[in-house]
């Protein structure tokens, strides 16, 4: 086990314009001398002055050191993996370059993870910060931007069951559990400006499959800057479709977590693709009908969101039809460890 302490991993791609404000909030941390902490900037395939700006912005008087490491493979998931490898302490908090943590972040994360030994990952309460006026539909879709509440405070393993990657604190010992069981991401979070997603949910499901608990801690607070270019209806629907596509790669983990008899699982495996494809098509059709019949704009928007998610899932099911059942069998075969094995 690594020494107790907190590593703040800030993943950034071409973040020279965003990092100064973020690092100013990080540098303002109020951390007791007894708590060790550090900051790791993961420069993810940047082509601007991200690395040099990060070093220049870090004040000399801060008690925590700052290191910049490079991850040439584009993608938020790759950057976070690099951050875990570079971290020195047991508790690793993931921040994006547009996340501004509260001044007590390190202290709160440390106290929580020290107190709750069974918690493999903890999520935060994220508040949106708008550079311009928030769109009227934002409250209907705020969870797609990783802001708002994440359920009731405390253990959310059996209720919400998932946590957002922005502001996620993971226990390194829990991550080692996944490594020993040959965990590999089947989904990827954001790659540059491409709207991919699902890595944070997959990580949470894998931790649950290994017996770790998930915790929502509203005392962990950050402000998430909402860039105007992300706040268009078209971009939102693209994000929702990407989220729907990612759910296909989570099916095996959800099936693993369900307390069913093996015979039930084998039956579901035989007909799993047809069942899931039919369900996705039906969900898309129902949402389409709701959208047509909606007379109040918010209802129509909700139906559009539901239809985009269903269509995204259906497109991924079609794309992965040949290997869908094989992936499920790899997870569920008796000799396999109770965690996702790479495809």
**Across the chain, what does the average pLDDT equal?**
87
- Are 220 and 258 in the same domain? no
89 lies in the same domain as 120:
yes
What's this model's pTM, rounded to 2 decimal places? 0.88
**Neighbouring C-alpha atoms within 13 Å toward the C-beta of 272:** 23
Query: Does 307 share its domain with 180?
Result: no
């402000």: which residue's tokens?
Answer: 223
Are residue 87 and residue 193 in the same domain, yes or no?
yes
Is there a contact between 51 and 68 (Cβ–Cβ < 8 Å)? yes
Please report whether residue 343 resides in a domain: no
Q: What is the pLDDT of residues 68-122, one digit of tens each?
A: 999 999 888 889 999 999 999 999 999 999 999 999 999 999 999 999 999 999 9
Q: Examine the domain organization and report whether 260 and 226 are in the same domain.
A: no
How confident is the model over 39-58, as pLDDT tens digits?
Answer: 999 999 999 999 999 999 99
Is beta strand 169-171 parallel, antiparallel or unpaired with respect to 119-130?
Answer: antiparallel
Contact residues for 306 (Cβ-Cβ < 8 A; gap 6+): 283, 286, 287, 290
Residues 111, 223, single domain; the answer is: yes
3-state DSSP assignment of residue 318: helix
Indicate which CATH number applies to the domain containing 168: 3.90.550.10
C-alpha closest to that of 121 among 158, 81, 156, 146? 156
Do 188 and 253 lie in one domain? The reply is no
Beta strands in the chain (DSSP E): 6-12, 37-44, 66-71, 91-96, 99-101, 119-130, 154-155, 169-171, 213-226
Mean pLDDT of 272-283: 78
Q: What is the CA radius of gyration of the chain?
A: 20
Q: By residue range, what is the domain housing residue 263?
A: 249-332
Residues 285, 141, single domain; the answer is no
200 and 159 in a single domain? The answer is: yes
Rounded (10°) angle between helices 19-27 and 50-57: 30
Q: What is the mean pLDDT of residues 20-42?
A: 97
User: Is there a domain that residue 261 lies in?
Assistant: yes
Q: Provide the pLDDT for residue 188.
A: 64
Same domain flag for 178 and 280: no
Cβ atoms of 47 and 125 closer than 8 Å? no
Tell me how many domains the chain contains: 2
Q: What does the angle CA 262 – CA 263 – CA 266 come to, to the nearest 5 degrees?
A: 85
Q: Note whether residue 242 is domain-resident.
A: no
pLDDT at 320 over 90: no
Examine residue 239 and state whether it is found in any structural domain, yes or no.
no
Q: Residue 169 in contact with residue 91, Cβ under 8 Å?
A: yes
Distance CA 238, CA 62 (A): 41
Report yes or no on 17 lying in a domain.
yes
161-212 pLDDT, tens per residue? 999 999 999 999 999 999 888 887 777 655 545 545 678 999 999 999 899 9
The answer on 253 and 189 residing in a single domain is no
- State the pLDDT at residue 274: 77
**Neighbouring-strand partners of residue 70:** 43
């Amino acid at each position: 086990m690594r020494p107790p302490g907190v590593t703040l991993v800030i993943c950034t791609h071409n973040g020279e314009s965003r990092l100064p404000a973020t690092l100013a909030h990080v540098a303002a941390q109020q951390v007791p001398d007894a708590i060790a902490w550090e900051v790791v900037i993961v420069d993810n395939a940047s082509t601007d002055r991200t690395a040099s700006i990060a070093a220049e912005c870090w004040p000399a008087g801060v008690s925590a050191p700052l290191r910049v490491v490079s991850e040439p493979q584009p993608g938020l998931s790759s950057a976070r993996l690099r951050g875990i490898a570079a971290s020195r302490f047991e508790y690793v908090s993931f921040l994006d370059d547009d996340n501004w943590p509260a001044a007590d972040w390190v202290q709160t994360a440390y106290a929580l993870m020290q107190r709750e030994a069974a918690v493999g990952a903890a999520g935060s309460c994220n508040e949106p910060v708008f550079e311009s006026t928030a769109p009227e539909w934002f409250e209907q879709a705020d969870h797609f931007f990783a802001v708002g509440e994440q359920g009731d405070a405390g253990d959310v393993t059996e209720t919400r069951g998932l946590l957002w990657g922005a502001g996620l604190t993971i226990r390194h010992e829990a991550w080692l559990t996944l490594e020993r069981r040959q965990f590999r991401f089947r989904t990827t979070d954001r790659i540059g400006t491409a709207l991919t997603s699902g890595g944070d949910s997959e990580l949470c499901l894998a931790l649950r499959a290994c017996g770790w608990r998930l915790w929502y801690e509203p005392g962990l607070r950050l402000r998430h800057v909402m860039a105007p270019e992300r706040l268009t209806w078209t971009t939102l629907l693209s994000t929702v479709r990407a989220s729907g596509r990612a759910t296909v790669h989570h099916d095996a983990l959800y099936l693993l977590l369900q307390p069913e008899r093996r015979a039930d699982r084998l039956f579901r495996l035989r007909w799993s693709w047809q069942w899931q494809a039919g369900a996705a098509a039906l969900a898309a059709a129902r949402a389409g009908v709701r959208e047509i019949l909606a007379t109040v704009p918010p209802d129509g928007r909700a139906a559009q969101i539901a239809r985009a998610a269903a269509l995204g899932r259906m497109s991924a099911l079609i794309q992965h039809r040949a290997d869908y059942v094989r992936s499920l069998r790899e997870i569920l075969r008796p000799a396999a460890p109770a965690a996702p094995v790479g495809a």
